[in-house]
Amino acid sequence: MGEVSVATRHVMQANKSKNTKPELLVRQALRAGGLPGYRLHWKKCAGRPDVCYPGRKVAIFVNGCFWHRCPHCNLPMPKSNVAFWEAKFERNRARDKRTYEALVSGGWTVLVVWECALKRGRFDSTIARLIREVELATVGLLPAGRKVEVGYQKPWQRRTAWRRWHP
């Protein structure tokens, strides 16, 4: 792994890891949806999820598209110090995978919300699905120990929704 300049190090340290705008939006929507009582960055849970419901065994991760390399955004790689960034992003993805697997094997429902799914046109549907998933995990209708990416539909579901509004 290549060395990082002092300036780059300071810029990276200035990036917030807690209480980001997407995370605040999700928390506000959960409270408005009647789901208060969560823990923030709960230390007893693997990976310290952004939002955690310990009694329901639900962990919510609000991932930034750049740092966690969103599979839906097709973001470009930084042009300078490419080897460093590739290694950094690979470590982030590997850590996320280990965390999700540990929680799922422990019987937790892991909900991953990507930053891009919280944009204007998709916010309401993403939050509605998130609230539904938390409620389903509480009731126990679905099997324990699963990971769900909230805010994305299967390609055939998107096509039918598009046709419904564009005959």
Taking the C-alpha atoms of residue 59 and residue 86, their distance in angstroms, rounded to an integer, is 27
The pTM of this model reads 0.82
Q: Which residue has the higher pLDDT, 4 or 81?
A: 81
Say which residues have a Cβ less than 8 Å from residue 29's Cβ, sequence separation at least 6: 127, 130, 131
Nearest to 119 by CA among 78, 64, 75, 165: 64
Query: Is the pLDDT reported for residue 42 higher than 60?
Result: yes
Q: For the domain 17-165, what is the CATH superfamily, name and number?
A: VSR Endonuclease (3.40.960.10)
The helix-helix angle for 123-139 and 21-32 (nearest 10°) equals: 60
**21's tokens:** 């705008």
Q: What is the dihedral of CA 11, 52, 64, 29, to 10 degrees?
A: -110
Helix (H) / strand (E) containing 113: strand 109-114
Q: Supply the pLDDT for residue 8.
A: 65
